[in-house]
Amino acid sequence: MERTYLDAGGRAPVHPAAREAYLAALDEGWADPGRLHAEGRRARLLLDAARESLAEALGARPQEVHLTPSHTASLHLAVTGAARARRRTGRRVVTSAIERGALLAAARAVDDEATTVPVDRSGRVDLEAWRAAVTPDVAVAALQHANGEVGTVQPIAEAHEAARRAGVPLLVDAGASIGHAPVEPAWDLLAADPPDWGAPAGVGVLAVRTRVRMSHGGPEDEDPWAPGGVSVPAALAAAAALRAVLADAREPDPRRALVDQIRQRVLDQVPDVDVAGDPAHRLPHVLTFSCLYVDGEALVTELDRRGFAVGSGSACTSSSLQPSHVLAAMGLLTQGNVRIALPREVDAGAVARFCDELPAAVAGVRAMVEATGR
């Protein structure tokens, strides 16, 4: 059976440029970059080159870019490090209600009564509530650039201005955006996720403006951002993939029209369905819809049987298939949801086949639910 991968959010197929850079670095950058011998110095040069390339792409200085073990680690380090450095100013943490689970967990670890600012039905943060919440006694505020589940882009510039006026650093989670949509430089800390743009797993990226104070916890280590060091091949592959993706970027992104096609056909052909997210101000490749009277796990399994790999539940907790806190915060149906994230090289014919198969898949799962009386 022909397989179609439609779950590229957070873990996209490895980009050819990333594969080439990774394999080359296995030959040239395998040594410990902290050593003084020729092999170690060569690995250090490759690591520094990767950091410089990433910094250029993110609009940061090389010394502001830090490599971490993963995107989750970046979010944890950003929240806890900024909050620890500002503990004399304030201990409160403010986030939107639809941030990643990893960020919300870090916020609660710092402030067990962390403020979550509500969003509207499109997933856009309530700016008035945000401005009211971000006061000078806040240690750190966090707002994603765009949601990786529903695609809605947030008003980052306005949120950053409110934080700046209060003297509060703003952490922007751009894990779902970098490589897919422009991210304005309205941030104090920026987390990016290399596997989302086609790099192999094994490295995360956290940029911290030099004006932001950070304080690391835990045992002392030569590299507090990645205790024990990071993988040089993974770092080089991340930089190579991002450089290639940005060089190949097309406007408009052809995936946007494909997502529009899926959205319209779902609305036209699948009864009792919620389609989530802003239809215009969104990422070009992401879509989530929820079907009434359908179990998400059963629908994902049925679509997989038909040759389509899709996600369900919250994008950040997809392995557990827990109901989506993002959809719940938006006031939408949380059960029976399907999350689409189109890879860059997706075939338009495969998307059309998915749209053709979907109504029957939903009807089949609904029929099974009726047959079992659940």
Show Cβ contacts of residue 86 under 8 Å, excluding neighbours closer than 6 positions.
Answer: 139, 140, 169, 213
355 is catalytic: no
97, 316, 333, 362: the active-site residue: 316
Q: List active site positions.
A: 316
